[in-house]
Amino acid sequence: MSRVCELTGKGPMSGNNISHANNKTRRRFLPNLNDVTLISDVLNQSFKLRVSAAGLRTVDHRGGLDAFLMKASDAELSSNALKIKKAILKAQAAA
């Protein structure tokens, strides 16, 4: 399982540990990923996603999973999130 947010595309970054003696060693900064269940209002269905804490706040700020996916670019979404987005678009077109 990769350490990448399914909604925002946020992944690991690299940097340095710097000791008191100013020794520098490489390290990784991992995103704060959580397994969450988000509910789609249009589809009346819940989806399990691996989302960063920052991504979860953004979903809440934009008004839910449906609104977030409509604004998000396809390049940063995972394949699972893209399937959900296409299903939402199809359901909205039918309604």
CA end-to-end span of the chain, whole Å?
36
What's at 55, amino acid-wise? G
Note down pLDDT in tens along the chain; length 95 residues: 789 999 999 999 999 999 999 999 999 999 999 999 999 999 999 999 999 999 999 999 999 999 999 999 999 999 999 999 999 999 999 98
Quote the pTM value: 0.88
Closest CA to 10 of 67, 61, 58, 71: 58
Which domains are present in the chain?
A: 13-94 (2.30.170.40)
C-alpha to C-alpha distances, 56 to 7, 27, 43, 86, nearest whole angstrom: 9, 25, 19, 20
